[in-house]
Amino acid sequence: MNKEPKPTRGMPRSLLYAMIPGGFLVIILILFLTGFWRQEATDEMPPVVEEPAPAVVE
């Protein structure tokens, strides 16, 4: 009688392959929740620099 061969690894490959994109999504979720992409909002307008009118040469 032949016995079924036991897997040599502790975790099936399919579970490992499913954890890779899952881990990526967890990292993206953490970055999103911590505000990694949040832009600094300021209420001040940048100063307006007026340029002198160009001199007309005739």
Q: Are 20 and 13 in contact (CB under 8 A)?
A: no
Q: Identify the pLDDT of residue 45.
A: 74
Q: How many residues does the chain have?
A: 58
Q: With a threshold of 0.85, does the pTM exceed it?
A: no
Confidence (pLDDT) at 22: 94
Query: How far apart (Å, rounded) are the C-alpha atoms in residues 6 and 39?
Result: 53
d(CA 8, CA 11): 9
Structure-token pair, residue 42 = 């300021």
Q: How is residue 37 written in tokens?
A: 């992409």
- Encode the chain (58 residues) as per-residue pLDDT tens digits: 567 766 666 668 888 888 999 999 999 999 888 886 676 666 677 778 888 877 777 6
